Amino acid sequence: MIQEFNITVFSENHIGLLTRITIVFTRRKVNIESLTVSESAIPGVYKFTIVVHTTREQTIKIVRQIEKQIDVLKAFYHTNDEMIYQEIALYKVPTEALYDSDTVEQIVRKASARILEITREYVVIEKTGHKEETQALFEDLNQFHVMQFIRSGRVALTRDPIERLSEFLRERDAFLDAMD
C-alpha cells in the first residue's frame, strides 16, 4: 500500500552527498515530495528530512541503500503518525486587497497566519502548519491574485522519546572502544 513516509538521514557534511542520496530515489523511480537539510542537535552531524509517497517495502530498500553511502551515519523511516512536523509558507498579495476590504485580514486571522511585511505594492503573509493548511490558505488568498507563493520542505522530529541516533552512536563508540 502506498503511503507517505518520512526518511531521516544523519550524516557528516560532505560535498556530493545530496547528489548520491537523490540518485538512490531516481534509480528506484521514487519522487521526493519534500527535502530539508540542516544541522542536527549533535555537533558536526547533519539531518536530511525526506518525504516520499511509496510502499513500506520500497522505503525499507531505499533506507538500506542510503545507509551504504560512506558519509551516512544512520538512516530511519517513519510514518506521519510517528512524527511531529511542520512546514512554512510565504504568500505575497497585492496591498490593495488588504485595503479594499477586511477579508484578507479575516482570512489571515482565521488561518492563524501573520503579516510579515506591508509595502505600497504588496503584503507578505507567513503561515506554519501542515501542507494541507498552507495549501488551503493559498486557495483562500488566491481570490486576491497571489503574486508569489513558496512552501518550505518539512521539518520534523520523532515522537519517540529516545533519540535513536544518539543511541546508535553510543553503541558504535562503545564497540569501537572495545576493539582498541
| CA-atom Rg of the chain in angstroms | 20
CA nearest to 169, candidates 34, 32, 33, 74: 74
pLDDT tens, 58-104?
A: 999 999 999 999 899 999 999 999 999 999 999 999 999 888 889 99
Which pLDDT score, from 0 to 100, does residue 161 have?
67
Label residue 42 by pLDDT band (50, 70, 90): confident
- The label of the residue with cell 509517497 reads 53
* Class of residue 137 by CB neighbours under 10 A (exposed 0-12, middle 13-18, buried 19+): buried
- Tell me the C-alpha distance between 24 and 72, whole Å: 13
pLDDT higher than threshold 70 for residue 162 = no
Q: Which contiguous run of DSSP H or E holds residue 32?
A: strand 32-39
Can you give the pLDDT at residue 169? 67
- pLDDT at position 144 is 95
Q: How does the average pLDDT of the chain come out, rounded?
A: 91
Structure confidence at residue 116 as a pLDDT band (50, 70, 90): very high
Global pTM exceeds 0.95: no
The DSSP annotation for 128-161 comes to EE-HHHHHHHHHHHGGG--SEEEEPPPEEEES-S
Q: Alpha helix (H) ranges present in the chain?
A: 17-27, 56-67, 95-100, 103-110, 131-141, 164-179
SS3 95: helix
Task: Give me the domains of the chain, ranges plus CATH numbers.
Answer: 3-84+159-175 (3.30.70.260), 85-151 (3.30.70.1150)
